[in-house]
A and B are shown apart, each in its own frame.
Chain A
Amino acid sequence: MSNIEKRPVYNYLLELAAYMASSARGCLEEPPSYGTFRLIDALGKVLKIQDYLPEAEKDQFLEKVREDIERNKFLKSTNHEAFEKFLDDLILELVKEAKKRCI
């Protein structure tokens, strides 16, 4: 086993690659609205990379974003308006944080 195969973060990235490549393929033939869900679900999975950092190094804002996504992503299939509002609110939160950090 190589050093890369031994490192869990790379295995997680491999999982993420599998998910995103399969999603990209699926989006060619699935209902267009699935793409929105796959993107927000993928964002939650990307942010989960923080699990591989020591607790003290985790970005708490991004962790909260991840938790919000987990809590709200299924609104996509149950309440379109609420899902749209969740995405708008999320974007505004990201804008505020980006401005605060002077990105």
Chain B
Amino acid sequence: MNRRSIRSFTEEEISKEMFTRILDAARLAPSGSNLQGWRFIVVADPHILKLVRIFSPGFLSNAPSAIVVCSDLEVYEKEGGEVGRSYTRIADCAMAVENMLLAAHALGLGACVIRSFSRIALKEILEIPAKAEPELIVALGHPKAQPKPPPKRKIEEITYLNKYGASWADGGA
């Protein structure tokens, strides 16, 4: 429950074993129709990572590595229908990313999800084919500092009982 988005890292690299455990958690995430249309690119080469970073305005940290999460459009177009194309592919990637974040946190690592990046730049840098689309970047590393938690809404502010708007806290009144 104390996971945070980390934007300050040490220079220590992440071992291949740790990457494998994070990727294992990602691949076990649920996906619509079990399509598993996510694809993961581990970026550990400092030169390639720098290229990714400079074309990603949301990449605000010095993370020594990242995982670029892509969706395979072919999978979703063939088997996912319109919902798959427009919605499930993103939801699937998001669920895989959440598993990554929790696995990274359990390993004592820090991570931050990035959505602000140039898609065409990433496709060019990482040689992502036309049939795939970069959806999210997860910056990863050993945390240098643990930031304070940002404000979060209370359960009763965001939860209803049985119907939208019925107070959870008051038993649905």
Contact = CB atoms under 8 A, between A and B. Distances in A.
Nearest to B121: A22
Given A18-B121, A41-B60, A78-B150, A30 B116 contact: yes
Interface of A: 15, 18-19, 21-23, 25-26, 30, 34, 38, 41, 74, 77-78
Interface of B: 7, 54-58, 60, 116-118, 121, 150-151
Contacts of B150: 77-78
Given A22-B57, A30-B116, A77-B150, 13 more contacts: A18-B54, A18-B55, A19-B57, A21-B118, A22-B55, A22-B56, A22-B118, A23-B116, A26-B58, A26-B117, A41-B60, A74-B7, A78-B150
Q: Classify the secondary structure of B's interface with A.
A: loop
A30 B115 CA distance: 10
Q: Is the interface of A mostly helix, strand, loop or mixed?
A: helix
Contacts of B7: 74
Q: Which 6 A-B pairs have the closest CB atoms?
A: A22-B118, A18-B54, A23-B57, A15-B54, A22-B55, A18-B55
B124 to A, nearest CB: 12
